Amino acid sequence: MKFPSFLPLLAGALLVASPLAVTAAEAPASSMAAPAKAAISRIDPTFWWVGMKNPKLQLLVHGPGIGGSTVALSYPGVTLDGTQKLENPDYLLVNLTIAPEAKPGKLNLEFRGGKKVTYSYELRQRTTPTDKTKVQGVTSADFVYLLMPDRFANGDPKNDVVKGMNASRVARDSMYARHGGDLKGVEQHFDYLKELGVTAIWPTPVVENDMPKASYHGYALTDYYTVDRRYGSNEDYVRFVQRAHQSGLKVIHDVVLNHMGSKNYLFLEQPAADWFHQWPSFTRSNFRDAAFNDPYAADVDRKLYGEGWFDTTMPDLNQSNPLVATYVIQNFIWWVEYTGLDGYRIDTYPYSDRNFLMQWGEAVLNEFPQLGMFGETWVQGNGQQAFFARNILPPVNGFKSNLPGVTDFQSYYAINEAMTKDAGWTDGIAKLYYALQGDWLYEDPMRNVVFLDNHDLSRFYSVIGEDFAKYKMGLAWLLTTRGIPQLYYGTEVLMKNFSNPDGLVREDFPGGWAGDKKNYFTAAGRTGQAGEAFTYVSKLANYRKTHPALHSGKLTQFIPQDGIYTYFRHSDAGTVMVLMNSNKDEKAVDLSRFAERLNGFSSGVEVTSGATLADLKTARIPARTAWVVELRK
């Protein structure tokens, strides 16, 4: 998610009226487990599992006056550790220990207050440790496709508008309204993604976002345990993940730790004031991540960064409260076990409490060590970016990140400069070299996600002036450099526009709606350069998939000279040489400079064109061209 001060799409669009009260009758059906006359409206987590590595479970019980109740239970292997009242009498915390020998079943919780109420809480059998089709992880062998479900394809028009939800209409001519895309629409185009060479799907958040305005993006969640019904049901999402796995596609779940939407029931009826960062009047974050670890930072700057709200409709969670921390940690363990998803992308990662970030990462990876995880780190500088991933640095202010990878904004800045500025000693294409030179800071830079654009950024094709030669250069770099490549939906068919001022980077994918004049999901509909672009990406992505040197091999890069950047991906399975000429004219290159990697090879084949390099002594590279050359002995 982008800093609101720099993105009118978020800054001005999310203003809403004062919060309204919510009743139990308005709670999602999937959250309602008690009889209609019961005093309990919901319990979070909505159900749990036996066999978890952490035997402790914190239940947040919500209902009129429930805080005055005592609790009793009798279930083999489950111990009641006690209850805790909260400031709001409509909440009660129930703490349990679930022993390893406990069996799945219905756990009857008896609440005794004004009257006795029995709530049947479900304990399920855990499946992820033994089912290898679940939680497959995300690695550098993957090619990630980022999409916005509301803007990708409408597979079920019947769920476009859901009675009782705040957005009461679909308006495709408004960038801030719902457009009707859903999970079924994405699923209907799995074959398209497979043809493109995609191996993992990253949808922006699919959890409920029942906000009056700009609810389509999902980053102001209003129910931690419910899929947005305009995308489908919880059960639909489970089937979506299963069918993706059956199609050879992984699923990355986009999560928000730092904040929620102001229509979330937890904010409308706050369990306690200290569950949120409270200010006398609305106070926005200063968005200065440097304050997180600046040894000279003023206390006020550090407080504003971490405790200021992201936006007026995004209450900032107080994760230093251990009850809040546990609630959030349990939720994201719940989603993995429930669906079998493969990875987490963590929105606004650096904004959260530093101790909480370490607790969250440890808890999630303890239950699912194979889970892929990378955080959004929209920061400046290699050192600052590495600070938020597993790195070789000492702890700072008690913080030592355990996050496997991050979104690599440093290489994003570099590829944009390489395509838009002339080469210099440290400028232009030289930036790519220096972006990767900083990899010594990481435990494993191959876990970082590289990209050309995303839902917060101007589209790459527009940034480079709709220059198709530069476009192919950028895609060649994306699919051959180190790390996990991520493509933003539509980049493969030359979708364009800028994030400022009107947010058109979130347009609908052509062909995703009945009656669209263009349909880029079909080869017949991808005419002209859109078709050529798709073919180029598909050819290179599918080649990458079957050549371990490109996705798992070592990288050797040479200092750029005369506007040409050369690097090699190599392993026992083969060697690929990439030559990038950023100049406006053709350049002759003396390949003898690369002898240490060329020794033993006599020729090469350019992967995308099939052209042969008969010898490896010299090469004449056309202007604005990247060659991806498979070396032959």
- Give pLDDT, residue 474: 98
Total structural domains within the chain:
2
> Whole-angstrom Cα distance, residue 595 to residue 631?
13
Mean residue pLDDT of the chain comes to 93
Last residue of a domain, one of 125, 146, 163: 125
- Give pLDDT, residue 26: 33
pLDDT band at 500 (very low <50, low <70, confident <90, very high): confident
- Give pLDDT, residue 18: 30
- Give pLDDT, residue 115: 82
- Give pLDDT, residue 455: 96
Q: Which residues are catalytic?
A: 347, 376
Residue 113 lies in a domain: yes
Q: pLDDT over 90 for what percent of the chain?
A: 91
pLDDT tens digits, residue range 19-75?
A: 323 333 333 333 334 333 348 999 999 999 999 999 999 999 999 999 999 999 999
- Give pLDDT, residue 1: 65
Q: If you average pLDDT over residues 480-505, what whole number do you get? A: 93
Last residue of a domain, one of 93, 125, 157: 125
- Give pLDDT, residue 502: 62
Residue 573 lies in a domain: yes
The domain spanning residue 43 has which CATH number? 2.60.40.10
pLDDT tens digits, residue range 278-287?
A: 999 999 999 9
With the CA atoms of 227, 233, 239 and 241 taken in that order, what torsion angle do they form, in degrees rounded to the nearest 10? Answer: -10
> Whole-angstrom Cα distance, residue 136 to residue 115?
47
Residue 361 lies in a domain: no
Residue 172 lies in a domain: no
Residue 616 lies in a domain: yes
Residue 592 lies in a domain: yes
pLDDT tens digits, residue range 188-241?
A: 999 999 999 999 999 999 999 999 988 999 999 999 999 999 999 999 999 999
SS (H, E, C) 76-98: CCEEEEEEEECCCCCEEEEEEEE
> Whole-angstrom Cα distance, residue 135 to residue 342?
4
| Residue 505 DSSP class | G
Contact 189, 150 (CB under 8 A): no
pLDDT tens digits, residue range 567-618?
A: 999 999 999 999 999 999 999 999 999 999 999 999 999 999 999 999 999 9
Residue 53 lies in a domain: yes
Residue 190 lies in a domain: no
Contact 457, 617 (CB under 8 A): no
- Give pLDDT, residue 501: 65
Among residues 163, 182, 160, 183, the alpha carbon closest in space to that of 171 is found at 160
For 555, the domain range is 550-632
**Is the confidence at residue 317, as pLDDT, over 90?**
yes
In 397-440, where does DSSP find H-type helix?
A: 409-420, 430-437
- Give pLDDT, residue 37: 39
pLDDT band at 537 (very low <50, low <70, confident <90, very high): very high
Q: How far is CA 461 from CA 226, 417, 619, in A?
A: 36, 13, 28
- Give the tokens for residue 194: 């497979």
pLDDT tens digits, residue range 320-379?
A: 999 999 999 999 999 999 999 999 999 999 999 999 999 999 999 999 999 999 999 999
Last residue of a domain, one of 100, 125, 150: 125
**Is the confidence at residue 114, as pLDDT, over 90?**
no
The domain spanning residue 556 has which CATH number? 2.60.40.1180
